[in-house]
């Protein structure tokens, strides 16, 4: 029963008040040890792989169709690698989750019952001013500040992308999230469904991500940053698939 519950047995819906995603470029070979067999890094020119930090202010997370008052409000920080998997002749682009953090102990408990994402609770401070947004966590050594009103937003210095159109392919979230199961090359895939999803490029004023240092990726290059606001979102039931190597 416990394993059944962790396999996302029902659809879930939520409302994203704010979603800020910073994507970092890493030489693709540096990511190989973090990606399970059956998946491959999703790359740019077969040279760069990408790790994203998604910071999401979430409202009313609940089983799809349940009333909103039964939902959970929390802040989520997720660290993901952009990956691909091939199943039944189809190539799926998605994310492999490395770490999930939240400021809600209730969400940590529920998330670890109903998913494989290994939630942990941390301190998260969300500060919005007229022209900036800052997200900080002392325990997680996270400190991000972006300009929310800049009319001209250049790509970050050193980004491998040629322009924002190319960068948009690695903005996240992608449709699929992969979780490895016990059987070789077997994965639980959860498909996300979004509406009104129009990511806006944002200018990053400051960024520190202690978890990247823990992974040995302290020299990862900030490649893009996008934000969205006020978007309904839901995840379908989990589905087991077999990915061919």
pLDDT tens-place string over residues 22-64: 999 999 999 999 999 999 999 999 999 999 999 999 999 999 9
Joined together, the tokens standing for residue 125 give 């401070």
Residue 223 contacts by C-beta under 8 Å, 6 or more apart in sequence? 23, 24, 25, 48, 50, 155, 156, 159, 160, 161, 167, 170
- Residue 183 binned pLDDT confidence (cut-offs 50, 70, 90): confident
Q: By percentage, how much of the chain surpasses pLDDT 70?
A: 99
* Residue 161 half-sphere exposure toward CB, CA atoms < 13 A: 23
Q: What average pLDDT does the segment 227-241 reach?
A: 94
- Residue 152 binned pLDDT confidence (cut-offs 50, 70, 90): confident
One of 3.40.50.12500, 2.40.400.10, 1.10.287.1770, 2.40.50.140 is the CATH number of 2-242, namely 2.40.400.10
User: Rounded to 10 degrees, what is the CA torsion of 58, 63, 68, 69?
Assistant: -100
User: In the predicted model, is pLDDT for residue 225 greater than 90?
Assistant: yes
Q: Using alpha carbons, list the distances in angstroms from residue 87 to 28, 41, 117, 185, 241.
A: 22, 15, 22, 10, 7
Whole-prediction pTM value? 0.95
């Amino acid at each position: 029963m416990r394993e059944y519950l962790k396999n996302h047995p029902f659809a879930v819906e939520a409302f994203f008040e704010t979603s800020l995603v910073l994507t970092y470029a890493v030489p693709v070979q540096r990511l190989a040890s973090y990606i399970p067999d059956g998946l491959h890094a999703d790359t740019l020119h077969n040279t760069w792989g990408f790790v994203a930090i998604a910071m999401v202010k979430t409202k009313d997370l609940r089983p799809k169709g349940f009333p909103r008052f039964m939902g959970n409000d929390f802040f989520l920080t997720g660290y993901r690698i952009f990956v691909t998997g091939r199943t039944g002749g189809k190539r799926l682009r998605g994310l492999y989750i490395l770490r999930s953090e939240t400021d809600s102990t209730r969400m940590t408990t529920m998330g670890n019952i109903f998913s494989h994402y290994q939630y942990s609770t941390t301190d998260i401070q969300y500060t919005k001013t007229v022209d900036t947004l800052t997200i900080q966590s002392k325990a997680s050594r996270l400190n991000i500040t972006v300009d929310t009103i800049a009319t001209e937003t250049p790509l970050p210095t050193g980004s491998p992308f040629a322009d924002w159109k190319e960068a948009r392919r690695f903005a996240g979230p992608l449709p699929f999230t992969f979780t490895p199961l016990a059987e070789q090359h077997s994965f639980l895939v959860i498909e996300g469904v979004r509406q009104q999803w129009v990511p806006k490029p944002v200018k990053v004023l400051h960024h520190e991500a202690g978890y990247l240092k823990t992974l040995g990726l302290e020299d990862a290059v900030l490649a893009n940053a996008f934000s969205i606001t006020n978007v309904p979102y839901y995840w379908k039931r989990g589905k087991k698939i077999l990915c061919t190597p």
